[in-house]
Amino acid sequence: MNKYIIPHIVYWLVYIVYEMLFNKFLYRVSTPLASLFFFYTCNICVFYCHYHILNRYLNRTPPRYLALIFMVIAEILTASSIKITFDYFMMSTSLPPEEFWRQFKMVAGLDFQRTLFFLFISTVIWSAINWGRLQRKTTEALLRSTLADKTNAELRFQFAQAQNAFLKQQINPHLLFNTLNAIYSTVYLNAPKDSEALLLLSEIMRYSYEEPDSKGLVALESELFQLKNLIKLNTYRFRDTVQLDFDLKGDANNHRIIPLVLLTLTENMFKHGDLRQRPRSLGITINEGGQLSYFSNNVRKLRGQVEPNGSVGLTNTRLRLDYAYPGNYNLDITQTEELFTVNLNINLAYERSDH
């Protein structure tokens, strides 16, 4: 504490001695010690009070300029009134009435000027001390803005990569669907049940090629309908040996979502899960506010049974969620030796402003 107080005391003593000598030798003015003590005490208080006010109202976000103006006016009026009142009582007892009023007007003006002078000195010193800090805050704000722009640009690049990876896996849809229709017609004549599985596959793939709207979204009902088709398709695929405990709660009407997210997570269950054993649960809940919760829990396949490139779909899904719902989703994937759990929460009411 002393290392801060002592320099201030020294600075003020030097300043006071300088002013007293200056007034005595240049203007031949001598002031009683009691008056000197009173006025310098007032002026020093004005200096530190003003410094504190500047700190309080400018060192915050956002600065409170109106409150600062009000406080500055209040301190000017208060300090000037105290000094003028002191001069009034001191001079009224020592001067005749005619001389008193002439000198009192001059001294009152001087009191007001001195108050403004010490406010000015306090402001200059505060500005000099805080200039570096203000520059650092400005630089930090610019840096945060630059980093945010860089992060957004990187996110766009990663999203473009995810889209590109998705497009690389596509083949000509017209050729694919024409081929599937031809196979369906042939299979239907020999195995009606297998033909139904082929029809489900065709619907799912047709959905995957459909263009979303201008915001990159599709109807949540469509996504859930194709999810049910995916569950049926895998039931046919594994000849009813694989079952999934599926529970859907809530109303999907009037909600939209980026396509294939729920399908990718569910397809991952069939690819990596042993759904002949429990747990093998999948639950989806949609509330009225547009909050979607997706939860799956299943037994993991043995290492030798897991298909390769299993993490690509999940990685791309996370990138797409990052882009479409920044700060408005949470995807937790937990793996143990035996279980694989996915917990996804999305705020469907969120819409990107740059779409």
Tens of pLDDT along 33-88? Answer: 777 788 888 888 988 898 898 888 887 777 788 888 898 898 888 888 888 888 77
Cα gap 185→177, rounded to integer Å: 12
- Which residue blocks in the chain are alpha helix, DSSP H? 2-26, 33-58, 65-92, 97-168, 173-190, 192-209, 220-237, 261-272, 310-324
DSSP annotation of 182 reads H
**DSSP secondary structure letters along 12-24:** HHHHHHHHHHHHH
Record the pTM: 0.50
Cα gap 19→17, rounded to integer Å: 6
Cα gap 272→7, rounded to integer Å: 73
Cα gap 295→247, rounded to integer Å: 10
Please determine, for residue 262, whether its predicted confidence score (pLDDT) is greater than 90: yes
Q: Quick check: 344 and 265 in contact, CB under 8 A? A: yes
The tokens describing 76, both together, are 């000017």
223: confidence class by pLDDT, cuts 50, 70, 90: very high
Highest mean pLDDT among 26-30, 68-72, 258-262, 341-345: 341-345
Cα gap 82→218, rounded to integer Å: 73
AA letter at 12: W
Task: Report how far Cα 310 is from the mean position of its chain's Cα atoms.
Answer: 33
Average pLDDT, stretch 330-347? 92
